[in-house]
Amino acid sequence: MNHTRMLFDRLLVAGKPTAAERERIYEDCRKEVAALAKDDSARAKALDSLEKAIRRQEMQALYEDTLDAP
């Protein structure tokens, strides 16, 4: 499963989520990724990959927020 795709699909469905909604989505993704991992090593690698995607998304959200600001 592509964890980054899962994250972006959920954000897309949410439309333009607020910071709190994004955090809820991130936490749901973290839980799902952790539950799907076969062992500790795989879990750590998958969560690291997901965290990188989350950081990229947060930077994008901050940028978009500056565009929307008056």
- How far is it, in rounded angstroms, from Cα 10 to Cα 45? 21
Name the domain count of the chain: 1
pLDDT digits (tens, 9 = 90+) for 20-55: 999 999 999 999 999 998 999 999 999 999 999 999
**pLDDT given for residue 2 in this prediction:** 87
Half-sphere exposure in the Cβ direction for 30 (13 Å, CA): 10
Distance of CA 21 to the CA centre of its chain: 11
pLDDT of residue 12: 94
Spatial distance between the Cα atoms of 36 and 32, rounded to a whole number of angstroms: 6
- For the whole model, what pTM was predicted? 0.86
Q: For 15, left (φ over 0), alpha (ψ -120 to 50), or beta?
A: left
Domain enclosing residue 58, as ranges: 3-68
Q: What is the model's pLDDT at position 1?
A: 62
